[in-house]
Structures are given as C-alpha cells and as structure tokens.
C-alpha cells in the first residue's frame, strides 16, 4: 500500500467513525475529520453529552458493522448554495460555516482566512461554484476526498482516545470532542505501532524519573515545579557542566544574577507588554514592584552596561545557568517537558556587526559537537517572524537579521527548514531540533540574533574612532531548558546514562564478607580516579553493595538502577587480584593494578 492509498484509507476511516457516531447519537454535529500521523480524528459535538473511552467498544463495533456492510463511497457535487442549504437542513452548523468560508474564499483553512470573516455568512459572488461530497451508506459528508472505493477496504484500526479540541483551533470557540484513531494497512502493522507506543511508555521520563529516583513533584510546592533528588541533581550538574564546557573553551565567562528584578526592567525590555500574565509579582514594603525573572537577558545587559566598554573588549561573552519563572497555564504542564521554573544554560554575547559570524560559528560547532557526543541527531530550523505586530524593533532591522542568519546557515552548509512565526519577540533564531530515539523532534539548542534589546537598554561601546556604537546581542542556550533537555535525554537513553554522566557510575557487588578487606583496596583505587572527559574533574561516584543478599539479587537491583558498571568481587577475584567488570555489553576480568587505567580509557 502506498502513501496515497494509506491516506485515503485513514480518511475513509474518519468518515466511518463519524457515520458510526451518527448511528449511536443521531443528533451529533460534525466538525472536521482529517488524517494525522498514523491515523485520523474526527471532531464531534454531542451537545451536553460526552463520549468517554468506555464508549469506544460500541463505536468500534458500529464501525466494524459499516465495514462489513461494504458500502461504496460515492462522490457527487452540489452547487455551493445548495450545499449550504443542505448543511442547514441536516442540522450541521459547523459544515455550514465551512461551506460559507469556501463560498467566500475558496478555502476552509482558518489561518488563510481573514479572522473577522471566519464563520460569517458569505454574501455576493462565490469563490467556489460547487463543492464535492462523499456518501457511504446513509452518511453524507462535505469532503474533497479521495476515499477508498468501498468501506470494506480500510485495513486495521483502533480508537485511541477522546480529547477536547476547540472548533477551528480557537480557544474562544466552542469545544468539541476529538475522537482519535490509528489505522494501518494490516493488523501486523497496527500491532507493531501499538507495541512501539508500549515501548515508548517504558522509557517515559516520568516513569524513569521515579524509578531511577531523579526527581519528584509535590502537590504542596505546586504543579510544574519539579524537585531534583541527589541522583537527579548529579545528572543535571554533569549535563550542565558539559554544555558550559564548550563555551568556556571559547572564552565565555560565568556571571551571576538575582532571580528577581523591578518590573520596570521588563517594561523596558518589552516582555511585560507581550506577556503580562506570565510575570509574577511580589509587592514589597519599599513599594518596589518586583517580578520573578521570566528571562535572563535584561540582567545580563546590565552587567555589560555596568561600566564603559571599549571595542577592544568585544565580544563580551557571559555564561550562566539559571532559572527563569513563567506562570504557564495549568493544563500545559507535564513532566519535565513543560515546567514553571525553567533552568536555562543561557549565554549572551555583546559584539560588533563584524563579529556575528565568528560567534555564531563557535556556537553552531559547539551545538553540533555536544549533540553528537550525546547521540542526539540535530536538525536546524531558522525561526523567522510572521506579520504579527508584536515583535520588537524596526522591520528593516529584522529583515537584515533574518538575512544574516539565512546566510550563515548557507555558509556553514547546514540543512535547514524555515519556521515562519517561530521567532523570539526581539529577533530571529537558529533553533536546533533534536530527534530522540523514538523519532520525535523537540527544540533544544537555540542561537538568537538580537538588535532590539541593545537598543531598548541603550547599550553602547566606544569604537576605534571614538564614536559611541551599539553592540549586537547573541543569545544562546545549548541545552535550552535543562528540565526539557533531561526529559528528552532520559527517554533517549532509556535511563542508561553514559559512565561520565550516571549518578551512580559503579557499584561494587560482593559475594560474601570474606572479601571485605579486598573491597577496601578496590575503593582506594576508585577514589583515585578522576575522569577528565568529556567533563573535567569528574570524580568517580561509586557505592558498595555488601548486604547479606545473593549475588543474583544484587545484580538484578544494580541493573534495575541502570548503573553502567558493576564490579563483582568474590574470593576468586580476591585471590587473582582482579575484579569482574560487568557492563551492559558483557563481563571481563580486570587486574586491580590496571583498573584505574582501564577506567580512564573508557
């Protein structure tokens, strides 16, 4: 089955789903029912009634009946006005709205339509004279097609979930129920897909975060405020050290800023104007209105502005991993991926026009090197502005900045896609999207070019000729948010972190207590080992399991904890002055006097 056939099949299943729902709830009003990755959905309005997953059985049964009834999909056309009348008569107001949009503009795609016109009744000349319908059995639907010829040709399917969705994606509109299904040509492919979902669940960072004791949440502290345990904190620190190391190599200097600032800061930066509801305030006795910082850049600009600057010290490169606070809507929070206290491995460069390229080059190389080391594949998105008017700064400057980024991507021979409307409020971005083990893409690293904030904060330096010039800012986070990065990384590794990053790197497992003294010697060796790659001064983290338990149990537990290296020590090892090094890939004997060297080389 080719992609087109698969698409037609999934689309046909959307119709069959709607037809089944209509049999069960004749008063159902229908929205749209498109094909999505791996399946389809249909938006349904049952008035006060709600479909729940408990209803899936009977809906699927009705769908199967329609399949066995072997109904032909018949295509026919209707003049647009007749179609509008049909929608009205059949009590399908959502279809009526779509038809009016078609009549007026020739499209039903909400973002291509003038928002004031959306859903209004079309007057005057029609943009489309007739529209196509598909009919199977007694179910007729406005549809461009194509479909399979007959309902019996639909392959294997399963309803997955029901969720709320706003009509036409606008939160001011009515909320409908979106019925999601997956569909494949064969039962085997469907089973394979369901199996993959099951595997994804096994490596879900929320599950592993609990099992590996990395972080926890507290309903007392609040939603979206993860608390990191000792193990999780080690992982955080190691990852952060790695991300910082690339920039420290390139002359970035660490700075430190407080977590609050006067509200005026964000009035100056423009953040208050755009995101007033996301800033949290504290009132103070002094009368200052203070906000928790939602971004770090304004603070960093003030370090730059703290004394006069000469062209000789440019580029000035600041680096800081620090937490920003954003009051995300409650329903948007989830795991570590979306939190309200976001820790960024942030850096800001203040430079002159002719230094932009070098700064970008360093950062692009760093991002590529780091993600290659971590085994995550990066793809590039150039995030440009759209026509909205809430961006800061002169559109001409924007155009220059976007052209500059575009040219840099070309110059470095990077493959990229362009994301319109994905820019930051103050400038265009080069976003690195990581693809995880399950093929999902998430934006992590970001490099942003900014002419707006230096202007707003009146930053300047003295040029060679004695004149005052405005620096350009380059924002960068290689990890993005540490929390979000970890959510991806935990799932990518399934909790099997590399030796250098693992919270507990080595566990010594004893066979009985005759080896106690020998274990002390091994510990002495391990204490002397300090890893220097990829993070410097990384002292070995190990524990000893000398409990009165069977070796089998100790191995089982150490493996469940996904500890990269188990050192098994028994009387035979003691006599041979060796240890048995057990890793995921197998087991080997290493002489005690070679152990330090062995570990250094990994």
**Catalytic site includes residue 135:** no
The Cβ-side half-sphere exposure at 437, using a 13 Å CA radius, reads: 21
Residue with tokens 């707006």: 452
Q: Could you say whether residue 46 binds RNA (CB under 7 A)?
A: no
Candidate list 326, 456, 492, 562, residue with the active-site label: 326
Nearer to RNA, 2 or 219 (CB): 219
Candidate list 10, 95, 297, 484, residue with the active-site label: 297
Identify the three-state secondary structure at position 43.
Answer: strand
Q: Could you say whether residue 521 binds RNA (CB under 7 A)?
A: no
Q: Could you say whether residue 401 binds RNA (CB under 7 A)?
A: no
Shortest separation between residue 137's beta carbon and RNA, angstroms:
28
Figure out which of the listed residues 335, 454, 495, 503 binds RNA, where binding follows CB under 7 A: 335
Omega cis (within 30) before 289: no
**DSSP assignment of 95-121:** HHHHHHHHHHHS---GGGS-TTTTTPP
**306/299 Cα distance (integer angstroms):** 11
Q: Could you say whether residue 593 binds RNA (CB under 7 A)?
A: no
Residue with tokens 């409307």: 421
Backbone dihedral angles phi then psi of residue 81, each to the nearest 5 degrees? -70, -35
**Catalytic site includes residue 326:** yes
* Contact set for RNA, span 536-555 (CB under 7 A): 548-553, 555
**Catalytic site includes residue 431:** no
- Residue 316 is encoded by which pair of tokens? 């000035």
DSSP conformation class of 424: B
Q: Could you say whether residue 197 binds RNA (CB under 7 A)?
A: no
**453/391 Cα distance (integer angstroms):** 12
Figure out which of the listed residues 231, 271, 456, 492 binds RNA, where binding follows CB under 7 A: 271
Nearer to RNA, 241 or 573 (CB): 573
Residues 371/373/376/382 CA torsion (nearest 10 deg)? 20
Q: Could you say whether residue 573 binds RNA (CB under 7 A)?
A: yes
Figure out which of the listed residues 27, 34, 50, 365 binds RNA, where binding follows CB under 7 A: 50
**232/254 Cα distance (integer angstroms):** 23
Q: Could you say whether residue 574 binds RNA (CB under 7 A)?
A: yes
Q: Which stretch binds RNA (CB under 7 A): 14-22, 184-192, 219-227, 529-537?
A: 219-227
Shortest separation between residue 278's beta carbon and RNA, angstroms:
3
Backbone dihedral angles phi then psi of residue 291, each to the nearest 5 degrees? -120, 145
Q: Which ranges of 276-347 does DSSP label H, i.e. alpha helix?
A: 297-304
Q: Could you say whether residue 381 binds RNA (CB under 7 A)?
A: no
| Nearest to 478, CA basis, from 438, 533, 430 | 430
Figure out which of the listed residues 77, 199, 284, 512 binds RNA, where binding follows CB under 7 A: 512
**Catalytic site includes residue 344:** yes
Candidate list 92, 244, 344, 566, residue with the active-site label: 344
Q: Are 535 and 238 in contact (CB under 8 A)?
A: yes
| Nearest to 363, CA basis, from 444, 480, 476 | 476
* Contact set for RNA, span 70-129 (CB under 7 A): none
Shortest separation between residue 123's beta carbon and RNA, angstroms:
28
Q: Could you say whether residue 294 binds RNA (CB under 7 A)?
A: yes
Total residues at the site for RNA (CB under 7 A)? Answer: 64
DSSP conformation class of 109: -
Nearer to RNA, 352 or 442 (CB): 442
Backbone dihedral angles phi then psi of residue 12, each to the nearest 5 degrees? -65, -35
Candidate list 385, 475, 562, 582, residue with the active-site label: 475
Give burial (CB, 10 Å; 0-12/13-18/19+) of 20.
buried
**Catalytic site includes residue 476:** no
Q: Could you say whether residue 232 binds RNA (CB under 7 A)?
A: no
Give burial (CB, 10 Å; 0-12/13-18/19+) of 236.
buried
Q: Could you say whether residue 399 binds RNA (CB under 7 A)?
A: no
Q: Could you say whether residue 175 binds RNA (CB under 7 A)?
A: yes
Q: Could you say whether residue 488 binds RNA (CB under 7 A)?
A: no
Q: Could you say whether residue 147 binds RNA (CB under 7 A)?
A: no
Candidate list 101, 241, 345, 346, residue with the active-site label: 346
| Nearest to 316, CA basis, from 288, 275, 350 | 350
Nearer to RNA, 50 or 594 (CB): 50
Q: Could you say whether residue 577 binds RNA (CB under 7 A)?
A: no
Shortest separation between residue 514's beta carbon and RNA, angstroms:
7
Tell me the Cα Rg of the chain: 30
**DSSP assignment of 350-382:** EE-GGGHHHHHHHHHHHHHHHHHHHT-EEEEEE
| Contact residues for RNA, defined by CB under 7 A | 50, 52-53, 161-166, 169-171, 175, 177-178, 206, 210, 217, 219, 222-224, 271, 275, 278-279, 294-295, 326, 328-335, 338, 424-425, 511-514, 548-553, 555-556, 559-560, 568-574, 580, 582, 587
Q: Which residues are catalytic?
A: 297, 326, 344, 346, 348, 429, 475
């Amino acid at each position: 089955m080719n992609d087109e056939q698969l698409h037609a099949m999934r689309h046909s299943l959307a119709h069959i789903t709607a037809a089944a729902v209509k049999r069960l709830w004749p008063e159902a009003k229908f929205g749209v029912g498109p094909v999505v990755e791996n399946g389809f959905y249909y938006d349904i309005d049952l008035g006060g009634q709600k479909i729940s997953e408990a209803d899936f059985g009977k809906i699927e049964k009705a769908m199967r009946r329609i399949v066995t009834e072997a109904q032909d999909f018949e295509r026919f056309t209707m003049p647009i006005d007749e179609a509008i009348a049909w929608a009205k008569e059949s009590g399908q107001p959502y279809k009526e709205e779509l038809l009016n949009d078609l009549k007026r503009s020739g499209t039903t795609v909400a973002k291509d339509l003038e928002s004031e016109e959306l859903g209004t009744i079309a007057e005057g000349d029609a943009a489309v004279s007739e529209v196509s319908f598909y009919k199977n059995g007694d179910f007729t639907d406005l549809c461009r097609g194509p479909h399979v010829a007959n309902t019996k040709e639909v392959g294997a399917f399963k309803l997955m979930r029901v969720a709320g969705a706003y009509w036409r994606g606008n939160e001011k509109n009515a909320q409908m129920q979106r019925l999601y299904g997956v569909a494949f040509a064969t039962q085997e492919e469907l089973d394979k897909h369901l199996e993959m979902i099951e595997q994804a669940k096994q490596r879900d960072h929320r599950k592993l975060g609990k099992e590996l004791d990395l972080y926890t949440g507290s309903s007392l502290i609040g939603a979206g405020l993860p608390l990191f345990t000792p193990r999780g904190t080690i992982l955080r620190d190691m990852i952060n050290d790695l991300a910082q190391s690339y920039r420290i190599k390139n002359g970035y200097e660490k700075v430190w800023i407080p977590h609050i600032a006067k509200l005026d800061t964000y009035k100056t930066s423009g953040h208050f104007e755009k995101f007033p509801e996301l800033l949290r305030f504290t009132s103070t006795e002094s009368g200052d209105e203070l906000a928790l910082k939602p971004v770090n850049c304004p603070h960093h600009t003030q370090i730059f502005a703290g004394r006069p600057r000469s062209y000789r010290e440019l580029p000035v490169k600041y680096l800081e991993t620090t937490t920003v606070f954003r009051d995300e809507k409650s329903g948007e929070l989830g795991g570590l991926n979306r939190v309200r206290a976001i820790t960024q491995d942030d850096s800001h460069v203040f430079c002159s026009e002719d230094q932009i390229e070098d700064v970008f080059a360093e950062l692009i190389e760093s991002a590529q090197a780091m993600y290659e080391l971590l085994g995550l594949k990066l793809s590039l998105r150039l995030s440009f502005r759209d026509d909205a008017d809430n961006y800061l700064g002169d559109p001409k400057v924007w155009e220059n900045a976007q052209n500059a980024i575009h040219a840099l991507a070309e110059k470095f021979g990077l493959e990229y896609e362009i994301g319109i409307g994905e820019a930051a409020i103050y400038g265009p971005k080069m976003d690195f999207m990581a693809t995880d083990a399950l093929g999902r893409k998430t934006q992590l690293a970001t490099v942003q070019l900014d002419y707006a904030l230096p202007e707003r904060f009146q930053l300047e330096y003295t040029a060679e000729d004695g004149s005052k010039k405005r620096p350009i800012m380059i924002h960068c986070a290689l990890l993005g948010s540490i929390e979000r990065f970890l959510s991806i990384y935990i799932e990518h590794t399934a909790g099997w972190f590399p030796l250098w990053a693992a919270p507990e790197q080595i566990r010594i497992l004893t066979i009985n207590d005759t080896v106690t003294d020998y274990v002390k010697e091994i510990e002495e060796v391990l204490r002397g080992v300090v890893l220097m790659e990829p993070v410097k001064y990384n002292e070995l983290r190990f524990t000893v399991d000398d409990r009165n338990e069977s070796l089998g149990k100790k191995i089982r537990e150490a493996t469940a904890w996904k500890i990269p290296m188990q050192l098994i020590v028994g009387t035979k090892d003691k006599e041979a002055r060796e240890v048995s090094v057990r890793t995921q890939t197998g087991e080997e004997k290493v002489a005690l006097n070679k152990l330090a060297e062995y570990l250094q080389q990994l």
